Amino acid sequence: MDSPCAALPDRILALIRPGSRGITVAAFLCLIVLLSCRSESMFRGKRASPTLRQAAAPHGVFIGAAADSAYLGEDNYGNLLASEFSQLQAENEMKFGIIHPRPDTDPTPYDFSGADALVSFAQSHSMVVRGHTLVWHNQVPDWVTKGRYKAPKLATILQGHINTVMGRYASKVYAWDVVNEAINDDGTVRDTLWYDQPGIGYARQGTAYIEHVLRWARAADANAKLFYNDYNAEIMDAKSDAIYAMAADFKSRGVPLDGIGFQTHVDLSFDKPSTLASYASNLQRFAALGLDLHITELDIRLSDSSPASLNAQAKLYGELMTMCLQQPKCRVFQTWGFTDKYSWIPEFFSGKGWALLWDVNYQKKAAYTTVHDALTK
Ligand code: XIL
């Protein structure tokens, strides 16, 4: 509806009659109207643009971004991160290779500098921190992968790592991706250093090693929420079936698992009613196990930045935000970065990019608006 302020100058002019009193009255009315309309537009302006984190707060959903401490000093980067997001996650700086780059025999096996900087930034802006990740086959340092350790020693190394990292960030990191990407697309357990090459003692025993590290994680920080996180686990298929079977088994036996992270690195082919319905049904079956559900690494990669592509991307972003809001156990909506300036996509998906909510110049994209609209409508 148009503001009544728009038509008021005409109404006031209509009051002006020849004679000085009429003009004085009109001038006075003009002043009142201008002042009140100014404050109305300020008020409306303020109401019309809460940040994403403000808009999401009433829904009980954290809006997260993966971040890198190297960019925090860049004004646009730091300001947007602090104002638009309520959750921060280290894109790399809590991974084994970065946080624990040297063997335990070294005087300084750990390097907490990047992770500490992110945690203190988050704390000073009242953001929660999600930890990523303790047990993953990538970004493991050479001293571990090439150390020729046998299973018992590898178990000691991994448990020490979990104790040290979770211990340092206890009460600062509220949820951890304890295990990342341990299941193959066909539903089998991925062959990795931690599982069976040589593994930590549970080779060829399926998800037993995952159970074991979850128990270590619970012992290291009893208050942190413990997550299994994976990609291509969004829709109902062999992979999500296997993760579901594992989660159901763990819940039935009291293995400490609190939630599932759905990475959600997708492209426009994901925007089909059947795919979105499958994602929603998949979330629902995990929710029925009593698990928290986090969308952890969302990005929607494009092949070009045409208006058509950006609008299609915006539509899908909005649909995913809405899907999360419709699922009470969906507590986190997190993107993998937030500006196209620092997205991992161009490096890892040749020819693709433009995947996030802000462009390379920190301008909001159409996708920002659809996510915002989903939160405010
Ligand atoms: C990616 C980072 O974004 C890159 O900077 C890094 O070079 C490689 O890892 N799944 C995950 C994330 O769980 O940790 C990955 O992050 C992206 C895929």
Residue 209 to residues 158, 171, 198, 202, 311, Cα–Cα distance (Å): 11, 26, 12, 5, 43
Nearest-CA residue for ligand 1 atom 4 is 344
Query: How far is residue 65's CA from residue 77's CA, in Å, rounded to a whole number?
Result: 11
Give the tens place of pLDDT for each residue, 219-271.
999 999 999 999 999 999 999 999 999 999 999 999 999 999 999 999 999 99
Handedness of CA 43, 46, 49, 52 (dihedral sign): negative
Ligand 1 centroid, distance to 106 Cα (angstroms): 27
CB 334 within 8 A of CB 298: yes
343 lines ligand 1 (CB under 6 A): no
CB 214 within 8 A of CB 267: no
Mean pLDDT for the chain overall: 91
Strand stretches in the chain, DSSP E: 62-67, 87-90, 128-135, 173-180, 225-230, 259-262, 265-267, 292-301, 330-335
Nearest-CA residue for ligand 1 atom 15 is 91
CB 226 within 8 A of CB 259: yes
Q: Which residues contact 313 (CB under 8 A, 6 or more apart)?
A: 268, 300, 302, 354, 355, 365, 366, 367
Closest to 169 (Cα-Cα) out of 213, 138, 130, 137: 130
Mean pLDDT on 176-191: 98
Position 347 confidence tier, pLDDT thresholds 50, 70, 90 = very high
Looking at residue 174, its pLDDT comes to 98
180 lines ligand 1 (CB under 6 A): yes
Position 21 confidence tier, pLDDT thresholds 50, 70, 90 = low
Instruction: Assess whether pLDDT exceeds 70 at residue 25.
Output: no
84, 181, 211, 234: which one is catalytic?
A: 181
Ligand 1 centroid, distance to 210 Cα (angstroms): 20
> Catalytic residue at 91?
no
Say if residue 335 is preceded by a cis peptide, omega within 30 of 0. Answer: no
335 lines ligand 1 (CB under 6 A): no
More confident site: 16 or 88 = 88
Whole-structure pTM over 0.85, yes or no? yes
> Catalytic residue at 181?
yes
Ligand 1 centroid, distance to 91 Cα (angstroms): 7
CB 239 within 8 A of CB 230: yes
Q: Which residues contact 261 (CB under 8 A, 6 or more apart)?
A: 177, 227, 228, 229, 230, 294, 295, 296, 297
Ligand 1 atom with the smallest distance to the CA of 132 is: 14
91 lines ligand 1 (CB under 6 A): yes
Give the torsion through C-alpha atoms of 243, 192, 138, 82, to 10 deg. Answer: 30
Q: What structural domains and CATH numbers belong to the chain?
A: 1-45 (no CATH), 49-376 (3.20.20.80)
Mean pLDDT on 149-167: 98
Looking at residue 43, its pLDDT comes to 43
| Lowest-pLDDT range of 1-15, 45-59, 182-196, 243-257 | 1-15
92 lines ligand 1 (CB under 6 A): yes
Buried-exposed string 48-72: b where 16+ CB fall within 10 A, e elsewhere? eebbbbebbeebebbbbbbbbbebb
CB 3 within 8 A of CB 40: yes
Looking at residue 24, its pLDDT comes to 52
68, 92, 96: which to mutate for ligand 1, most atoms within 8 A of CB?
92
Strand pairing of 292-301 and 265-267? parallel
Query: How far is residue 133's CA from residue 264's CA, in Å, rounded to a whole number?
Result: 16
Give the tens place of pLDDT for each residue, 66-118.
999 999 999 999 999 999 999 999 999 999 999 999 999 999 999 999 999 99
Give the tens place of pLDDT for each residue, 272-309.
999 999 999 999 999 999 999 999 999 999 999 999 99
Ligand 1 centroid, distance to 38 Cα (angstroms): 47
Handedness of CA 179, 185, 186, 192 (dihedral sign): negative
339 lines ligand 1 (CB under 6 A): no
Looking at residue 47, its pLDDT comes to 56
